[in-house]
Structures are given as C-alpha cells and as structure tokens.
Homo-oligomer: A and B are copies of this chain.
Amino acid sequence: MEKKEQKIMVAVDQSEESMHALSWCLSNLISDTNKKKLLLLHVKPPPAICSFDTAGYVFSPEVIAAMEKYSMELANSVMDKAEAICRNLNAADRVIEMGDAKNVICSTVQKLDADTLVMGSHGYGFFKRTLLGSVSDHCAKHAKCPVIIVKQP
C-alpha cells in the first residue's frame, strides 16, 4: 500500500532552541528514503493595537507600521535561518501566521493536516512562560497530532 506523504511541522522562532529542534527533526525524522514533507511555521505576535486613551498610551500609525515592519523582518530572518539548516533538503514550505503562538500553532496543525509537530520547549521568556505556562505545554495537550518537544542540550 502506498503510504500518504507525512507532513512534519516545525515551529520556529528566534530562539536557538527552536533551531536545535529543527536540526533534531532533520537528523531523526527525515531521511532520503521516507516520504516526508517539512513545513516551517513561524507565528508573528499580533499587531499592537492597544490604545489606552485615558492613560495616554496611543501608538501612532508610524510606530505601529515600524513594529509590523520589524515583525515581518524578524519572521523572514527566522525563516532564512531555518532554511539554511535545511539546506540538504529539497524543499521546506514556509508558513507565516500571526496571533497568539500557542493557539495559532494548534490551529495550523489542523488546517494543514500535519502528522507531527516538532518544537522547542520554551520559545517565550521566563516571565511570560511562568505566568501563562509554556507554549509547548499547551501544544502537547491540544494539537491534534503527536508533539515532539526538543530541549536545548
């Protein structure tokens, strides 16, 4: 029986750890002999449209545009870095989404029908992680496919 092509999604961000997770995936899950498609997912933070009028914190359109430009540049630099790691591979699809990483990763797994999700264990700073729980915890519970969590050694 011809097996369908397996889709492996790797969530990448600016962390060293996510690049390590990608390398692990290439060494351990993807070989020349098996049919596996690699999807590189990067989730940009949502745009900062928080105008607290009473406190006087309003971001000007210029500031918002600058932040969005920065976020897009960051996404591209993450993807370039990830693709450099995949240089021996024929092709990896880039997927860039926007929103709250933990929810967007899970919904993208479903939308693109990924068979396996690979990610680092952190991906956020210490405080956010402590307060909100880690993105990988959430995905391990809620993603509709097996989740591989790779820590930086």
Contacts and interface: CB of A to CB of B under 8 A. Distances in A.
A148 B151 contact: no
A125 B33 CA distance: 40
Interface residues of A, number: 22
Q: How many copies does the complex hold?
A: 2
A146 B151 contact: yes
A153 to B, nearest CB: 8
A141 interface: yes
Nearest to A115: B28
Interface of A: 6, 21, 24, 28-29, 31, 33-34, 116, 121, 134, 136-137, 140-141, 144, 146-151
26 contacts: A6-B28, A21-B146, A24-B146, A28-B29, A28-B116, A29-B29, A31-B34, A33-B33, A121-B140, A121-B141, A134-B141, A136-B140, A137-B137, A137-B140, A140-B140, A140-B149, A144-B151, A146-B148, A146-B149, A146-B150, A146-B151, A147-B148, A147-B149, A148-B148, A148-B149, A149-B149
